[in-house]
Amino acid sequence: MMNRIRVVLGDDHALVREGIRALLVSSGIEVAGEAGDGRALVRLVRKVHPDVALVDVAMPILNGIEAIRRMRRVSPDTRVIVLSMYADEGYISQAARAGASGYVLKDEAPERLVAAIAAVAAGGIHFSSGVPEPEDEGLSLTEREREVLQLIVEGKRNAEIAQIMSRSLHTVRNHRARLMRKLGAHTAAELVEAADRLGIARLAPKS
In percent, how much of the chain has pLDDT > 70?
88
Asked whether residue 132 is domain-assigned, the answer is no
pLDDT digits (tens, 9 = 90+) for 156-187: 899 999 999 888 888 888 888 888 877 777 78
Q: Which domain holds residue 155?
A: 143-198
Total structural domains within the chain: 2
Asked whether residue 48 is domain-assigned, the answer is yes
Asked whether residue 6 is domain-assigned, the answer is yes
pLDDT tier at 130, thresholds 50, 70, 90: very low
Asked whether residue 28 is domain-assigned, the answer is yes
Asked whether residue 152 is domain-assigned, the answer is yes
Asked whether residue 206 is domain-assigned, the answer is no
Q: What is the spatial distance between Cα 108 and Cα 42, in angstroms, rounded to a whole number?
A: 26
Burial of 142 (C-beta count, 10 Å sphere; 0-12/13-18/19+): exposed
Instruction: Indicate whether 96 and 172 sit together in one domain.
Output: no
Instruction: Indicate whether 116 and 181 sit together in one domain.
Output: no
Task: Determine phi and psi for 80, rounding to 5 degrees.
Answer: -125, 135
- How many Cα atoms occupy the beta-carbon half-sphere of 163 within 13 Å? 5
* Domain at 174, CATH number: 1.10.10.10
Say if pTM beats, i.e. exceeds, 0.85: no
